[in-house]
Homo-oligomer: A and B are copies of this chain.
Amino acid sequence: MVAGCGCSATHVSHSADHRPIGVFDSGVGGLTVLAALEQALPATSFIYLGDTARLPYGTKSPASVERYALQCAAALVNRGVQALVVACNTASAASLPALRQAYPDLPVIGVIHPGAQAAVAHTRNRKIAVLATEGTVRAGAYQRAIERMDARVQVTSIGCSVFVALAEEGWGEGAVAELVAKRYIGALFDSPDAPDTLLLGCTHFPLLRKTLTALVPNGVAIVDSAETTARAVASLFADRSWDVQGRGGSTFLATDGPERFARVGSLFLGRLIEVSAVERVDV
């Protein structure tokens, strides 16, 4: 029981922790993870930090990305978060050990492990296609994570960098997205040996989910690392599902212009972010 909770809702909670969960990404892409988190944990508060001044992380060295991630995490820890979600593929691949060492008492959840785990659980024919940015494909983190879980799984990685621009332009659906998606993965399902599971290994790609769903043959599962990460976080906090009702909600921080964060971020979060609700911070 939290003393002086001040919440007017009726609730029984033995481990109520009203501290927010911290979520960070290099930009707005991680807002797809936040959207899934808000849905999975409606009574929980979140602080989202987009390190937009230094995006993209994908082209930086792992050492730089680790340093940036530690700075983002410190900014969130200073605001009293109870857990850290690394809603960024590049930062998940480069910084989880350092973050866990820096904050041994804080749960730290990345996007790669939950996505890989869900894809491995879904595949029947042990063939998974990972769609990601060129940087993520080159770094090979999903491939390694999947192979560690089941070495018999065959992974095909496809760099789909144009999807990022389409998502940021608000063109995740429509004729352009269909044509681009066909060009990237159209040939993938021609073979009888085709993958039965498509893993969206970039936080931008859920905005193309409908387009991809319409394109893949029946029976092919689309696994979204945003959704699976949210489920992983929710299961960590399962005992709080009856927590303080009526709370929740998210706070937004960005290291660069709130205007673009709010405008493009609204597409990724799936609801309007007011410019005035975005606080510009240095990390």
Contact = CB atoms under 8 A, between A and B. Distances in A.
A256 B61 contact: yes
A176 interface: yes
Interface in A148-176: 161-162, 164-166, 168-169, 171, 175-176
A43 interface: no
Contact of A256 (B59, B166, B256): B59
A184 to B, nearest CB: 10
Contacts of A165: 161-162, 164-166
A53 interface: yes
A232 interface: no
A169 B175 contact: no
Contacts of A168: 161
B161 A169 contact: yes
A210 interface: no
Contact of A179 (B61, B169, B176, B257): B176
A140 to B, nearest CB: 15
State the majority secondary structure of interface residues on A.
helix
Interface string A226-254: 00000000000000000000000000000
Contact of A59 (B55, B162, B166): B55
A168 B171 CA distance: 18
Nearest to A159: B169
A45 interface: no
A183 interface: yes
A185 interface: no
Contact of A60 (B53, B161, B166): B53
A180 interface: yes
A198 B180 CA distance: 26
Interface of A: 52-53, 55, 59-61, 64, 161-162, 164-166, 168-169, 171, 175-176, 179-180, 183, 256-257, 260
29 contacts: A52-B59, A53-B59, A53-B60, A53-B61, A55-B59, A59-B256, A59-B257, A59-B260, A60-B256, A61-B256, A161-B165, A161-B168, A161-B169, A162-B162, A162-B165, A162-B166, A162-B169, A162-B171, A162-B176, A164-B165, A165-B165, A165-B166, A171-B183, A175-B179, A176-B176, A176-B179, A176-B180, A176-B183, A179-B179
